[in-house]
Structures are given as C-alpha cells and as structure tokens.
Chains A and B, each alone.
Chain A
Amino acid sequence: MAEATSFAKINDTVLSTLDPPGKKYWLVIGLLLCFVAAMFLTVGYQVLVGIGIAGMNHPVGWGSYIVNFVFWVGIAHSGTLISAVLYLFKVRWRTAICRSSEAMTVIAVMTAGLFPLFHLGRIWVFWWLMPYPNAADLWPNFKSPLVWDVIAVTTYFTVSAMFFYLGMIPDLAAARDRATGWRKKFYTIISLGWQQRYEQWRHYARAYACFACLATPLVVSVHSVVSWDFAMSILPGWHTTIFAPYFVAGAIHSGLAMVITLLLPMRKLLKLESIITMTHLERMAQLNILMALIIGYAYGTEVFIAAYSINQFEWEFFLWRMFGDYAVHYWIMVACNCVIPLLFFFKKIRTNWVSLLVISLLINVGMWMERFVIIASTAHDFLPSSWGLYALTPAEWIIMVGAFAWFFMLFLLFAKHLPSVAISEIKELKLHEAHLDREHAG
C-alpha cells in the first residue's frame, strides 16, 4: 500500500506540472517569441540582400553561425549521454533527469540545425547538400566533411527525437488518463494507444534499449564528425588529429553545464526538488571536473604538438592564438573551461545552487569562446598578405540571441506540456529499491 501511495505521489508531482499554465508563463513565452521573430526577420533580410550583413569576410569565411552551430550541437550531447549511455551502464541517478536532458538534446539539435541554413550563401538551394536520387544523377560530394556533417546531424536528430518520444509514451498515457478537455485529445493521440499491457511493456523495453544502443555511438560520432569539418581542412589550428575526442569532451562539458543551468530553475519552479535532488546536480558537477581536465589536457596537447612539430605555420599560429588579436578570447576560454570548473572539487561549491549556476554558465561562455577561437582561426593562415580579423555584426547578435530565445521557448513549452520527468522509470527505480530493501530486511 505504501508503494501505491508513493507512486500516486510521483504521478501527482510530475503530472501536476502539466496543469494549464498561468498568465506569467505565456507572458514569458510571448517575450521569447518576440526575440525569435526578430531572428527570423533578420535571417529573411539576410536572404534578401546577402550574407554581407554578417561580419564574415575574406579571409574569415565562417563566423558566428558556425560557432553557434557547433555550440548547440555540443549542448545536445550530454542529453544523450545521460539518457542513453548512463542507461546502458545502469546508472541509477540518471532517472530523475534523463527526460529533461533528452528534451534538451532534441531542442538543442533543432537550434543547431538552424545555423548551417543561416550560414549558406544560397539558402534556397540547401537541399543540394542532401543525398537524394535525382534525374541529373548528381550526388553530393561524399569527400566533403560538410556532407558527413549533414548526415551525422540529421541522423542524430532522428534518433534522439525518436528515443525521446519513445521513452515518453507510458508517461503520456498517464497524462492522458488525468487530463481533460482538448488536452485529453492531445495526449490520447500522442500516447499511441498505450494500455500498459504486458506485450506493450515488453516491446517498449526492448525498443528503448535498442535506441539507447543506437544513440550511444552517436554521442561519440556526431561531434567527431563536426570536429572533422575543421580537422579535415589544411589550416593551422584546424588540421589536427586530436579534434575528435577533444570536441566530444567539449560537447559533453558544455551539455552538462547546460543541464545544470536548466535544471536549477526548473526543479524550483515546477516543484520537483523531491525528485531532482542536489545529489543529481552534484554528480553532473563531478562529471564536469572530468571534462575540464580532459579539455585542459587537449589544449595543452595542441600547443605542445604545434611546438614539437617545428612547423613554422603551426607554431606562429598558436603564438598568435595565445597572444595575438584574440588573446582575450583564448584566455577566457582556458579560464572558463579548464580552471573554474575545478572549483567543483570543493563539495560546498558543487552543492550550492548559486555557485552551480554561476559556474555552469561560465562553462558555456568558455565553450562558446572555444568555438569562436577555433573558427576565427582562418584570420591568420599561410600567406601573411591575406590575414584579417572578424567580429560579430548587430545582425549576428540578433540571430544569436534569437537562437537562445528559441531554445528556451521550446524548453518551456516542453516543461509545461510534456511530462518532464520519466514517471515510469522513477517508479521502476522505487520498486527496485523497495525490492532491495525487502531482500535486505529478509
């Protein structure tokens, strides 16, 4: 009986987040929508007049659009890590936060996916990047890392969206059973006739494990492929074999930080403190320490190899990166990604929500800077005659802020319209714990 009440309580706690939201909620959504509209209007203007409204130039052909693309793809990663990888490793603490991190993954990929489009000179023919059969028998160039990138990111989006949706079906059914009015219809349709039947659970469990297996390699592969956009080139600061692991670590670093950033207010506002506890946040902060160390090692290796190679271009380039025009960006990057997260070694700091929030935000500032520092590298390549500089224009700032608004807007919509905690998994965990207790007592 005790189990039943606690299960009901879990249902109540989680599903009450789906109650019709108040005016304040819609006000915030409306505000975010304004920023999103500004972004799309700016993009529309850019399509009309040309990419020149952004700050990219000759020699810096890629700018904030690619910075933001890599940033958001990176953010997406820890979601998959938490939901799929930790699932396969049967890490119990993931249960409380897996749903929201999965949502974050899907939404972050949706945000990231905007940027390559914004970046294209001729957005109206973007579909030429896709491999599709056509009368001209013209395929994309499979030698190009950009094509790998298109394939990797679309695969990632497909898999993570399906994984997210599949895991939610039992909870959607629970919501359906509780909801009234149009919401009932909505949940009825999207819960796909879930009846809690045995075979349904059996298929569900297998499918879920299957998707977890599919998604796991993607954690590594997607950001590796993204890193090859740079590493396959011949440019100093880009052409390096360390990029794949270093990008994956960076992605997870930023993703974990973003999960912390999102969960801190969410558990407060949605009153989920009992389910998403400080322990969960602490675990992630500990992972951040690991990632900070890996990244710090990678930064060190990059510089070391540049010096060790006795390659004039490479070494002069790294000196420029560290002490040249973008030295401030570089050292912000080092401080935020490798030094400040080490403060999590102190338990007081990693269990205090203020310091957690501040440091998690700083990590993402650092990770954005990292991408900026990498992408602005083309400013300083082989022929000194073509050296230049790059800075963001107002148009790019509007688009960047708009993308953040787009991300938070979608996340807010998720939080109030879909079960933000995996109810069934929490129950399963409770049952499992109760079983263990009983065994222990017996």
Chain B
Amino acid sequence: MSMTRRSWIATVTGGAIGLGAAYSAFDKLIPAVITPEHIVPGIATWYATTCRQCPAGCGMLVRNREGRALKCEGLPGHPVSDGKLCVRGQASVQGAYHPERLKSPVVHSQSMGWATAIQTAGDALSKVKRGRVAVITDVQAGSMVSLITSWLDLFGADVDRYVRYEPVSLHEQVEAGAGILDRPYIPHYDMGSSDFVLSLDADFLGWWLSPVGFGRQFGQMRDLDRKGGPARLEFIGPRMSNTGAMADRRHLVAPDMAGAIGLAVARIIAGRRKGAGSDAVLAATKAFTADAVSAASGLTPSELERLADSLAKAKAPLVLGHGDLEAKAAAMLNGLLGTRCADYSRAHTLSRASTPDELAELVDDMDGGKIDAVVIAGTNPVYSASPELRFGQALSRVSTVINLANLPDETAAASTIQLPAAHPLECWGDYEAASGWHGMVQPTMMPVPDWPSDTPEAPSPGDVLIALAEAAGKDAQRAFGTEGYYGYLRTYWQEEVLELSGQEFEEAWRVSVQKGGHFKGRSARVPSLRGDLDPIPFPEGAGGTALVASPSLLLYDGREAAKPWLQELPDPLTRTVWTSTLEMNAATASSKGIARNGDVARVTTQYGQVEGPAYVWEGIADGVVVLQMGQGHRAHGDVASGVGMNAFSLLPPAAYAVAATVEATGEHTELVIPQGSDSQHDRGIVKTVARSKIGHEEEGHHGGHGGHGGRSLTMPLPEGYWPENKHDMYPPVEPVGHRWAMTIDLSKCTGCGACAVACQAENNVANVGIDEVERGHEMHWLRIDRYFEPSEDTPVLFQPMLCQHCDQAPCEPVCPVFAAVHNEEGLNAQVYNRCVGTRYCANNCPYKVRRFNWFEWEFKEPLNRQLNPDVTVRCRGVMEKCTFCIQRIREVQYRARAEDRPVRDGEVQPACVQTCPTGALVFGDLLNPEARVTEVIRHDPRAYQVLHHFNTKPGVIYLKRVIQA
C-alpha cells in the first residue's frame, strides 16, 4: 500500500481523534463554564470552619485548591486553638476523601436513590406512634440541638429522647462541679498563666477535653522568658501519658489513687487554713488522711505535704482530674485555692453530653419496645457502648433505625436505613466549643462521593432530618423554614447568636463565616466551694489487677480509626503502629508470665475478654494493664476492621477502670515498631539541662569547635567555617538572600505528632501499610523519636527528627548525579527528577531522615484527590525527604515580591511549624538579624545540634529540655 496525501491525512486525523477520545476521561478540574470570581487556578482559597473530630471544637482553616479541600490548618485567632491543630484535625480530610464512603443511601441492604430512600424512611416514620422516636448524636451545641429538639417535637417526643452520646463523656466532671462547686459543668481552663499545674490522671496533652488548646497553654507555661519562669507540672496517674512524660515529676499509682492523693492534699491544705471552705473540705475528706492515702497509694506522707506546699504556695495553681474521684479532688482543690486558671463563666460543651444514665434509659426503652424509630448521626454506640448496656440487642428491637453515617461502621451495619450525610468539611453547621464561643462549620468543597443524581447538594445531617420530617408528612416548613438547614442555621444565628437583624445581621453573618465563628467575651468567674460538701467515701481497693482504658491520642474513642494516617503514625509512647497493645510494667508482666513485648495476653473482665500483644514499659503503675481505646473495630471499613482490641468491650458504662484477670496465652506476635532502640545509649542525642545550670554547664568531650560560648553548635553560615573552624575541607556555601533554619524546643515538644501528620498532608507522603512498615519501608519525613531514660526527671524524651538541612550535608557529596544538592537558601534540596536511586545519601545521613520509594505507593481513589498539587508525587526508585516545605517558602516569597517588600519573620511556616500546638517549632531566616530563630540560635544557651561533632552544621537547632527538679 502506498501512502497518498489523502490516506496520510485520514490516518493521522484518525489517530488524533483516538487520542482525543482517550483524553476525554480527564474531564474538567473545575466544573464550571463561567469560573466563579474567586477561584483562580493555582491560587488556594482558605475557608474558616470548625473541626468536628472531637468535642474540643478547634477552629480550622481549610485550604482549597481547584475545588478540592487539601489541608486543614489551625485557625488563627480562634479562642480554643489559635492557629494550631492536632493529628486528628489534620487527618479530617482523610475522612472526607475516604475510599469507603457510602456511594448511595441503603435501605434494608439495598442501594437506592436519594428520593426513594427518604420516602421509605419518611413512610416508616409517619407510621410511628407519637413519642416513640429517638435521636442519638455525638455531642452537639448550637443550631443542631434546637433543630433536633423541634424535630422530636414534631413526632411528639420529649427532649429526653435526644441523647447526645459521647463514649468518653467526662460526666464525672459535671457531677464534681455540681457537688463541690455548685457549678454543674466543665469550666474553661487556662493554664497559660498558671505557675503550678497538678494533673490527676488528666492527659490534657494527649486527648483530655481540649488537647490543642491545652498544648498552646502548655507552650506558654514552659516559656523560659515568662515572668516568674516556667511553670511546674506534676502528674499522678496509672499511666504515664504524654502529660506524665512532660511533667516535672510524676507518680504512677493504681486507679482512683490519684484522686485519693488529691483529696488528701486538699485535706492537708484545708487543715492549715481557717475558713468555711476549709471546714467543709475537712468534713468531706475525713476518710482521706495522709496516712490512709499514703498506705493505699504508696506515696509518702512527706510527698503529700510537699504537694500541698507547692499548691498552697503557687500564685496561680490549677488542678485537673480525670476520673470520678480525681474530678472531685480537682474541683475541691481548685475551689479551695480559688484558682484564677479555671474560668467558670464558660461551660465546655462536653458538659452538654448526655449522662450515661440517659443513654441507659433510652436503651431500656428501646429494649422494652417503647421506641419504634431511632435516628443516629455522628456516633457509633454499637461499637463504643458498654457490653452491659446491650445496645446492639436493644437496637435490633427498633423497627426503623436510620443512620446518617457516611462511612460504614458497626452501628450503620445494624441500621435498617442508611442515609449518608455530607462530611463536616462539605456542609454547613455550627458548634459552640464553650459557652459564648460559637464556631461556624461551612462547606469547604463539594461533596466527594458520586452520590445518586437526585441527592441534594451537600446534605448536612440537619438537611436529612428536615427532609425526613417532610417525607413523614410533618409540617416541616413551619418548624424549620423553607430554606432547608442553611436557612435554619441562619435564623438560629440571627436569633440566638448574633441577635441582630436586617443589614446588620447580614454583615455580622458574613464576618462570622469569614472568621470561623462569633466569639463573645465574658468576664471570668473563679470557682468557690459549696458550703456543705458530702463526705467522700474512700475507694475500695479492688485488689488484683486493674484494667485501665485510656482514650487514644491518635484515634480518640475510635471514631478516627478508619484514617490511614492515624493508623500508621506511631503511638507517641509505645511507638507501635496499626495495632493496640496491653501495656503493663515489667513487674506486672513477669507476674503474669509475660516475658517481652508481643507476648500475647488475655484480659478478662466481668464484661468481656480480649486477647492481644503485651507492651512492657515502665510507664504503667504496678498491677495495672492499660488498653487504649479506638481499635478493635469489626465493621469500620478495610483500614480499621480487625485491627487491635476494643477497650469498650471490657468496660462497665461510664468508667475507665475495672478489675480484670490477665494471663499469658503462651503465644507471641511481633509488634511492628518503626523505632529501632528505645534507649539513646548515652549518646547525648536528646540533651537535658537543669534549670539552675542553664548557661553554666560543662560540655562533654564532643563539645564544640567553632561553637559559641561552649555550646555544641556551629552556625550553618559561612562564619561556621574556616578560619574559625579548622575542620572543613570544602569552602563555605554562601547563602543568597536567606538561610532557613528551625529551632525545636524540647521543653515544649509533647510528642503529640501533629507535625508528622501535617507534613504528610502537605507533602503527599505515602502511607505504606503495616506489612511495609514492618519491613522498614515507612515514609514519614518527620518522625518523633521517643527515648526511655533511666531517669527520675525525664523517663521519656521526645525528639522530632527531620532533615537537619546541614550546611555541610553528608548526603550531598556522595550523590553521583547531583540529585542531593544545596540550594542558595541553605536548603538541602532533593531533585526527584535527577535521582537514580543509589541510596548512598540515605546511608550517609547520620540522622537517617531520608526516605526511599521502595514501590510505587498507592493513593487509593479518592484519597489521591487530597494530594497537594504544589508538591510532586514521587515515583518508585527515588529518594525523598523533608524540604522545609519549599513550596510554602516560595509562595511567601512570590507574595512578598509582588507586594515589593521583604519576607517578614514568621511569615514562612512549614506545615509542621504551622500546626505545632505548643509552639515548640520555630522557623525563620538566619540572615535576618531580627528573626526569632536568629535570636535563639545565637543567644540561647540551651541551643545545640544533634551529632554536632560531625561538623555537618545542621540548620535544625534543638533547645535542651529543661529539668525542674
């Protein structure tokens, strides 16, 4: 066949058409013919909203690019979190983009369209007799409470048919407040100005109440420059949580004993003071004499005296307690001391959670056939309710169970009708974190799943309830207005929150949406004791072994378990991934026949039994076994199901500790722990310094050439080279414009891991799964090393470890192809396109922070839509590592240039620095003499570089952890 002009054209155009057809799959990035005014491709839009991953209610800024929400950051100026966010908040995008989100409503195991499903549910509801309906949600505050109350009213049900169920309800705080201070709610705590904090098992740096807010305050507490110096923190509890690890002193005691100690201390203080309050305390704590408590807890009477002295002497003491007795002790001490760090003008919203009794009542009614329909939203009681309640069984007696969950879970599986509501990142809502702090929840993107076409745009739980009422033939319009939930929300805000009308309201509403809420000021109200206090009985020593269930920093009460980022982030203390462990100390373990980590133990309580690997460490009190909550799901998608043990299956309702028998099964499973050794083998990697010795200490034999004032520090600047420093072979690298550097204050790092997840979200860092983590293929660019020390003061040390951006980086000269290069701003850059994968750089990196792409990692659809378009997704066979978020540096530089001004200090914030709740991480430009990092690196006597003697001149400078004995 010969090619003519015509046949050539025919062939080529045919090919071109074929090519075009193949590319049509790409469709459009922004689904709009006329682009909305504010969306510019390549420029991110930020939406202020409120995080709904736990009851804390932190403010959140969500970054949206080309229609996709990519990353959550803290909302600056928010009264709870002020620009910071925790691991769970960071991971909330993974909830929205979860691959297993329900694709359509499901009625009796059959998928169907929205209208049919709503109609079926509405029909079922319309047949229900008056008052035989109930609603169960997680704790809500704001428009949803009022909406659900009205909704129940339409069906003739009382307000007590609405259960705001929280598995970790902290109801004992409310009871303690009521019984001791006559204030039946949890106050707003502000320890930022405190000078002595005593935590009675309250892991406020881990999960308790509002960890981001507390983290922020902890950062202020530990500020060395603060007036009066850094505050002291002491911890008493059965498990050395993150809070215990960061405390200046800690005592590990059996459950309830922390509370007993608190009460004994209160008794001692009351005994020294005259006054009505003291008399009441003495009367209430009759059982808690120093001798009795000392005998039961193992704490010496002199130690109790010392605690009492410290509290009494403190100008602004604060006591926090988790658990029944502990909460009472905390309330009593706070009331007795009249602390100004507990502000009773605001009630924390968790105070509004239903009590366990309220749930039990509803369950009784369900079981007794008094309920015909129940709507469940945002909570998973089949998983988290105590076995004693038999929630699942009671639920099966209810003929219509409507579930609004958008991910499969145990409760959804037990429901008859599933109407997947939109994710909080996709729809309107509000949440009042504490009285007067009204947070706004607004859609940050279009809903992710391809729902049936008749699904309304972003149906929030409120929308679904309104639609259900309509479909059931109720007069929904009168109750909720005509504009769906959004209209209802606006009306609620107009009447209840902003209390304005007309144009004024519109303006205030606009500002609230922009700022993420409306936050009202209040004058603080300090606690004072009730005149009469009921005597508190001494806790019965259960004897034998106690199981303590502790909410998890990563998974909270289990609602976060389906998120791969959180499963793969090592637990801050045990460093295990994708599992849960039975934690106990060596003495307990050996008495149970458990020799080492991974030996399988069986824990039996009155309520249930679990089997799983033991983790043996000295952070647990004698005779206590700790199981963290959150794992052991049976039907919560591929990620969470079948992982670990469910702590709730062992617990009575509303308690965190229970008597248990523990035995070794004789089996062994290998725990997957990405960290090599738990000990730093006296290598001085995490350095500590006594507060009195700051600036006066002798350096060890590694002490520094070219250092300043005897510090182990060589500036990552030309001045750190010859002639001052005679150890260099190569000439200095001259920085141009900037020399980026970071300081990490080890006194402030609580090991919470927010930085690690923020890094993962920002930089498209892959998750690899448990098998690959076991093979040493994990990808985290930033890890938090945790070392155990045989030390009274610092038994646990945390150290965020990321690329140190050395000025003389060992990885650079060994790369044969210039993939690892130094850039002109001091960054140790990695050119992915140039990397051939010899892995020499990783071998030669003394900090072992480089990560290799062993495989083409999968970002499972639609999790891939979360990927940051500003950052390359690396292919198999190349090395990757921390870049100091170069894309964020560049963004700021472009902006500064466009505005014709220099980059301001603090303007560039890598993802880790941005999110760090305590402010342990600070980033800046060493060439800017005004920059905070310059100030700290040049003058702080605590500054040091890890493995300084290598003369790699790292740009990441650590500040020694301060010991306050």
Mark A residues whose CB is within 8 Å of B: 49-52, 55-62, 119-123, 125-126, 128-129, 138, 140-141, 143-147, 150, 229, 232-235, 312-313, 316, 378, 381-388
Taking a contact as CB atoms under 8 Å apart, the answer to whether A120 and B816 are in contact is: no
| 6 pairs, CB–CB < 8 Å, chain A vs chain B | A57-B776, A121-B838, A150-B816, A313-B683, A385-B680, A387-B677
Q: Which of B184-192, B301-309, B849-857 contacts A (4 or more CB under 8 A)?
A: B849-857
Give, as a whole number of angstroms, the nearest-CB distance from B225 to chain A.
Answer: 30
Tell me whether A141 and B839 are in contact (CB under 8 A): no
Nearest-Cβ distance from residue A313 to partner chain B, whole angstroms: 7
- A140 near B843 (CB under 8 angstroms)? no
B536 at the interface (CB under 8 A from A): no
Q: Could you tell me if A382 and B846 are in contact, using CB atoms closer than 8 angstroms?
A: yes
In this complex, the member of A125, A143, A144, A381 whose beta carbon has the largest number of chain B beta carbons within 10 angstroms is: A144
| Contact call A141/B818, Cβ cutoff below 8 A | yes
- Confirm or deny: B195 has a beta carbon within 8 angstroms of a beta carbon on chain A: no
Rounded to whole angstroms, the CA-CA distance of A18 and B851 in the bound complex is 53
Most buried by B among A232, A383, A387: A383
Question: What chain B residues lie within 8 Å of A316 (beta carbons)?
Answer: 681
Q: Mark B815-845, 1 if CB is under 8 A from A, else 0.
A: 1111000000000000000111111101110
Which residue among A55, A121, A316, A378 has the maximum number of chain B CB atoms within 10 Å of its CB?
Answer: A121
Per the bound structure, the CA–CA distance linking A58 and B850 in Å amounts to 8
Q: Which residues of B contact A313 (CB under 8 A)?
A: 683
> What is the predominant secondary structure among interface residues of chain B facing chain A?
loop
A388 to B676, Cβ gap below 8 A?
A: yes
Partner of B855, one of A50, A57, A387: A50
Within 8 A of A (CB), among B676-728: 676-683, 685
Please determine whether B801 and A49 come into contact, CB atoms closer than 8 angstroms.
no
Residues of B within 8 A of A141 (CB): 813, 815-818
B146: Cβ under 8 A from any A Cβ: no
Whether A233 contacts B785 by the Cβ 8 Å rule is no
CB B947 to nearest CB in A, in angstroms, measures: 6
Interfacial residues, chain B to chain A (CB-CB below 8 A): 675-683, 685, 772, 775-778, 783, 785-787, 799, 801, 810, 813-818, 834-840, 842-844, 846-848, 850-856, 875-879, 946-947, 950
Query: Quick one: given A61-B842, A233-B843, A388-B676, are A122 and B834 in contact (CB under 8 Å)?
Result: no
Distance A51 CA – B777 CA, assembled complex (angstroms) = 11
- How many Å from the CB of B569 to the closest CB on chain A? 15
9 extra interface residue pairs, beta carbon distance < 8 Å, beyond A383-B683, A385-B785:
A49-B876, A50-B856, A120-B877, A121-B838, A143-B813, A143-B814, A229-B840, A232-B814, A312-B682
Q: Contact check: which of B772, B817, B848, B852 meets A140 at CB < 8 Å?
A: B817
In the complex, how many angstroms separate the beta carbon of B677 from the nearest chain A beta carbon? 4
Query: Is B844 within 8 A of A50, CB to CB?
Result: no
The listed residue (B679, B685, B815, B853) touching A50 by CB distance below 8 A is B853
User: In the complex, what distance in Å separates the CA atom of A387 from the CA atom of B836?
Assistant: 25
Q: CB distance B683 to A49 under 8 Å?
A: no
Which residue of chain A lies nearest to B775 when distances are taken between CB atoms in the complex? Answer: A57
Checking A49, A61, A122, A385 against B843 with a beta-carbon cut-off of 8 angstroms, the contacting residue is A61
Within 8 Å CB of B787, what residues of A? Answer: 384-385
User: With A128-B817, A129-B816, A386-B848 in contact, do A59 and B776 touch (Cβ < 8 Å)?
Assistant: yes
Chain A residue with Cβ nearest B840: A146
Q: With A and B bound together, what is the CA distance between A146 and B840 in angstroms? A: 9
Contact present for B772 and A52 (CB under 8 Å): yes
Q: Is the CB of A62 within 8 A of B801?
A: no
The reply to whether A384 and B950 form a contact with Cβ atoms under 8 Å apart is no
CA distance A368 to B922 in the complex (A): 48
Contacts A121-B852, A122-B836, A384-B681 hold; do A144 and B876 have CB atoms under 8 A apart? no
Does B837 lie within 8 Å of A121, measured CB to CB? yes
- Rounded to whole angstroms, the CA-CA distance of A61 and B680 in the bound complex is 22
Check B877 against A121 for contact (C-beta < 8 Å).
Answer: yes
A64 CB to closest chain B CB, in angstroms? 13
Contact between chains at B851 and A121 (CB < 8 Å): no
Cα of A56 to Cα of B704 in the assembled complex, Å: 35
Return the 9 tightest CB-CB contacts between A and B, nearest first: A121-B837, A387-B676, A57-B776, A121-B877, A52-B854, A61-B839, A384-B677, A386-B848, A50-B876
> When chains A and B are docked, how far (Å) is the Cα of A65 from the Cα of B420?
52
**Chain B contacts for A146, CB-based, 8 A:** 814, 816, 838, 840
| A312 surroundings in chain B (CB, below 8 A) | 682-683
Partner of B815, one of A119, A126, A144: A144
Bound Cα distance A150, B842 (Å): 19
Give B652 Cβ to nearest chain A Cβ, in Å.
39
CB-CB under 8 A from B855, the residues of chain A are 49-50, 52
Contact A383 B816 (CB under 8 A): no
Which residues from chain B contact A145 at a C-beta distance below 8 Å?
Answer: 814
Tell me whether B679 and A384 are in contact (CB under 8 A).
yes
Tell me, in angstroms, the Cα distance from A381 to B846 when the chains sit together.
Answer: 7
Tell me whether A128 and B681 are in contact (CB under 8 A).
no
Closest chain B residue to A393, Cβ basis: B775
A58 contact from B685, B777, B810, Cβ within 8 A: B777
Q: Which residues of B contact A55 (CB under 8 A)?
A: 775
Q: Measured between alpha carbons, how far is A60 from B950 in the docked complex, in Å?
A: 21
A52 and B676 form a contact (CB under 8 A)? no
| Cα A125 to Cα B682 with chains together (Å) | 43
Taking CB atoms, residues of chain A closer than 8 Å to B775 are: 52, 55, 57
Which residue of chain B has its CB nearest to the CB of A140?
Answer: B816
Using known A-B contacts A52-B777, A381-B846, A383-B785, determine if residue A61 contacts B817 with beta carbons closer than 8 Å. Answer: no
Chain A's closest residue to B678 (CB) is A384
Report whether B853 and A384 are in contact in the complex, using a CB–CB cutoff of 8 Å.
Answer: no
Taking a contact as CB atoms under 8 Å apart, the answer to whether A61 and B676 are in contact is no
> Which chain A residue shows the least CB distance to B684?
A312
Which residues of B sit under 8 angstroms from A387, Cβ to Cβ?
Answer: 676-677
Flag if A144 contacts B816 (CB, 8 Å).
Answer: yes
> Given A56-B839, A146-B840, does the pair A385, B675 have CB atoms closer than 8 Å?
yes
Q: Is the CB of B848 within 8 A of A121?
A: no
- Report how far A385 CA is from B784 CA in the complex, Å: 9
Contact check, A58 vs B837: say whether CB atoms are below 8 A apart. Answer: no
A385:B836 contact, CB within 8 angstroms:
no
- Whether the Cβ atoms of B837 and A51 lie closer than 8 Å is yes
Taking CB atoms, residues of chain A closer than 8 Å to B838 are 119-121, 146
Closest A residue to B857 by beta carbon equals: A50
B817–A122 CB distance below 8 A: no
Assembly CA distance A298 to B840 (angstroms): 25
Q: Which residue of the partner chain B has the closest CB to A47?
A: B877
**Residues in chain B near residue A144, CB distance under 8 A:** 813-816, 840
Residues of A within 8 A of B847 (CB): 382-383, 386
B814 touches A233 (CB 8 A): yes
Question: A234–B729 Cα gap in the complex (Å)?
Answer: 14
In the complex, what distance in Å separates the CA atom of A121 from the CA atom of B819?
A: 13
Asked whether, in the complex, the Cβ of A128 is within 8 Å of the Cβ of B834, the reply is yes
CB of A128 within 8 A of CB of B852, answer: no
Complex: chain A residue closest to B784, CB-CB: A385
B877 contact from A50, A56, A61, A383, Cβ within 8 A: A50
Q: Which residues of B contact A235 (CB under 8 A)?
A: 843-844, 846
Query: A3 to chain B: closest CB distance in Å?
Result: 56
Kindly provide the distance from the CB of B782 to the nearest chain A CB, expressed in whole angstroms. 13
A372 to chain B, nearest CB (A): 15
Please, how many angstroms separate the alpha-carbon atoms of A143 and B844 in the complex? 14
> Smallest Cβ distance from B936 to chain A, in angstroms?
23
**Complex Cα spacing A371 to B844, Å:** 18
- Complexed CA–CA distance, A313 and B685 (Å): 12
Q: Are A382 and B839 CB-contacts (below 8 A) given A51-B852, A122-B877?
A: no
B682 contact set on A, CB distance < 8 A: 312
Contact across chains for B677 and A385 when beta carbons are under 8 A apart: yes
B817 near A129 with CB under 8 A, answer: yes
Q: Cβ of A59 and Cβ of B848 under 8 Å apart? A: yes
Q: Are A378 and B843 in contact (CB under 8 A)?
A: yes
A51 touches B816 (CB 8 A): no
CA A128 – CA B679 in complex, angstroms?
Answer: 41
- Are A121 and B853 in touch, CB under 8 angstroms? yes
Chain B contacts for A49, CB-based, 8 A: 855-856, 876
Q: Once the chains are docked, how many angstroms separate the CA of A131 from the CA of B836?
A: 15
Task: Say yes or no: B778 contacts A58, CB within 8 Å.
Answer: yes
CA distance A320 to B493 in the complex (A): 67
